[in-house]
Structure 1
């Protein structure tokens, strides 16, 4: 199957939003399948019209007469909306004059609220859906329901032994989720995709929304970020590695997050202790891109000194972050670390206050010490601590005491409504 045609969780979300919302925005990085998704959605609507602003003639028409451009009786899908933010005020006037649901589907490559000179045009009239690179569940047609499942069942989850082992997880992490990268053979052809992607990021995407004086600095920063993925985003330290002033480095990080290259996971404390640190954790949104940035390959991964742990941690956090965009439960993602070096890779906090802790281990075996951070949270949170899991590259689901369990990393995409529990 063509990876660009894999069913996306965002499709159902967008259709649901269009049923009661005037303007639906689909945002995401380049090459994640936004245009394909928009076309599929528009094909299911009556009297839909599709306009692509990467067509010079269509772009010229939008710039010449934006008021006439947005007039349409049915659903109007506009791709690459960030190219013409002057369309947003006419869209506001249209949806205010005719306030029915499903008027506009807007597709963008950068978060609209981050565009320069964007008017405060559409408050209260829109719903935004983030489209990430493909999840493992979307690629495998698996449930992708881990977050909802563990908040429902706590540590009382069960799954069949996983057929995957550490090399399989490394291969998945290096493949990433960009449809074009998934389609290509591993090795030289996939690497060419990632290299071109990095070039386009620096020469096109970033420069569309900001004046970058020296693109080489952004390339160097991307390499440093790759080497630090899964670690703390200590601005002063990164600035020193790249050779940039701290203010400039902060601006570059903001830009990379704006165009969905990185994501900063905020620190969590919930007033547990004054010793908790507040520095966010840094991930590359696509682990395949992250792997290419550090020159990782299947062959290099066989070396015992290869940094597989950070790669797989980045991979697992990315899968959870994707799920939070479609999970039924209202959950936020954090990480935890204190000055005593006690840490938990992921802290999922439910709107009710309940917490799930997740640790990621690249090993195929689990030890009791791997639960140190999770036990720390359990002791201090009491009843608020729903469960703690160590996600590892072995095959079995194993209990390690009350509310603590080791699970194969594949549980992130295989647990859900169609999985035994």
Structure 2
């Protein structure tokens, strides 16, 4: 297709899709699932169209009669289509025949998990490497394989990263003029509250409370703040507070729409630690959504960084920079068949922002620092981790906002966010 920018997931699809009878590409609206799937689809069934839903409802066998690969788009609009595909796989549909794209099924829809028949693949907003800002010189996959060479320089600075945070990783939004971008992101959030929630089976009786909960969640970006505290923040001053079950339903609905992308706590396969915290680190699907929920544009974030804003604003730019790094590391790690977590001791003495774990249990420790230089104090938790787990630590990396990728005298790699890729 014209103007299609190849994504990291395309390499995985090239390798896997021809051999799988069915796979699903899932993620939030606007990340490019349909555009990517259409690069390899011969036939398209768009279930956002009432006529196509009617045809498939009347005769599901049409899905197997079409020449493949067949893209079944917006499958959640007709949840039973998932089971039609599963039964077709069981009946012996050819390899590479089905690509399913969309969100999760609405609450109450009864469908088979698809385990063993439909292979899921997560698609996120554009990582930093996918935005074409620089040619990465450091590969996460190579680091996981034990590569020690680190090098490269970038011209990107703090203002460029602020632009990337606010521009968003949604392909159709990021290239727009700033004011149009803000309007599109606001409309995206309004659509979530007023349309997507009801379509998922979660009627919203008090939209203002949901919007406040989203803003409180955004303010907790890159932290492990308890959900009870997020609720308290969202409903401060309200006499008639929503029940805890209501806000847990918010979380469930947002998860089903792939609008929450938390970083799970790392659970080591070996007994290195006695007590680790078990709370996820909060992230929305895209840091631009968090910035819009908090009413912060680029200039406001830069003012906060310079110390002229309130305390809450003054901490948010670093949290959003970490969010942008986490979004990218999740994408790169999946390409390398690795998974991402975070480490925090229960007494909060030590934390490592991101832990990337290989299948054999060995890990890469990553700290994220919004600064143009790396000081010894910035890597103290990485040194602690190295002392604690020894050879199970493949490498230690600090991602920062400076100019040069290099290896420090303590053997910790310092890499600008723009220079690390898959």
> TM over 0.5: same fold?
yes
Structure 2 Cα separation of the partners of residues 315 and 211 of structure 1 = 29
- 2:139 paired with 1:146: yes
Cα shift at 1:175: 1.2
- 2:403 paired with 1:395: yes
Aligned pairs (5 A) from 1:138-217: 138-140=130-132, 142=135, 146-154=139-147, 156-186=148-178, 188-214=179-205, 215-217=207-209
Counterpart pick for 1:245 among 243, 255, 268: 243
- 2:237 paired with 1:257: no
1:375 alignment counterpart:
383
Structure 1 Cα separation of the partners of residues 389 and 340 of structure 2 = 17
Structure 2 Cα separation of the partners of residues 401 and 15 of structure 1 = 40
TM-score, L = length of structure 1 = 0.89
Is the CA contact 1:354–1:385 (under 8 Å) kept in the aligned structure 2?
yes
2:326 alignment counterpart:
317
Change (3 A) 1:116 1:323: farther
Counterpart pick for 1:65 among 55, 59, 62: 59
Structure 2 Cα separation of the partners of residues 212 and 404 of structure 1 = 50
Structure 1 Cα separation of the partners of residues 415 and 62 of structure 2 = 56
Counterpart pick for 2:72 among 65, 68, 78: 78
Change (3 A) 1:121 1:169: closer
**C-alpha RMSD over aligned residues:** 2.3
Is the CA contact 1:358–1:374 (under 8 Å) kept in the aligned structure 2?
yes
Q: Deviation string for 1:310-349 (max 9, x for gaps)?
A: 110111111101212322xx32211111214321111112
1:119 alignment counterpart:
111
Aligned-partner SS, 2:140: helix
Aligned-partner SS, 2:19: coil
Structure 2 Cα separation of the partners of residues 290 and 234 of structure 1 = 18
Q: Any stretches of 5+ residues in structure 2 without a counterpart?
A: 236-241, 308-313
Q: Any stretches of 5+ residues in structure 1 without a counterpart?
A: 43-47, 417-421
Q: Deviation string for 1:352-385 (max 9, x for gaps)?
A: 2211111111111211011111111111101111
Change (3 A) 1:122 1:396: closer
TM-score, L = length of structure 2 = 0.88
Q: Deviation string for 1:250-272 (max 9, x for gaps)?
A: 23212212212111211125343
Change (3 A) 1:49 1:240: same
Structure 2 Cα separation of the partners of residues 201 and 165 of structure 1 = 33
Structure 1 residue runs of 4 or more that deviate by more than 6 Å after TM superposition: none
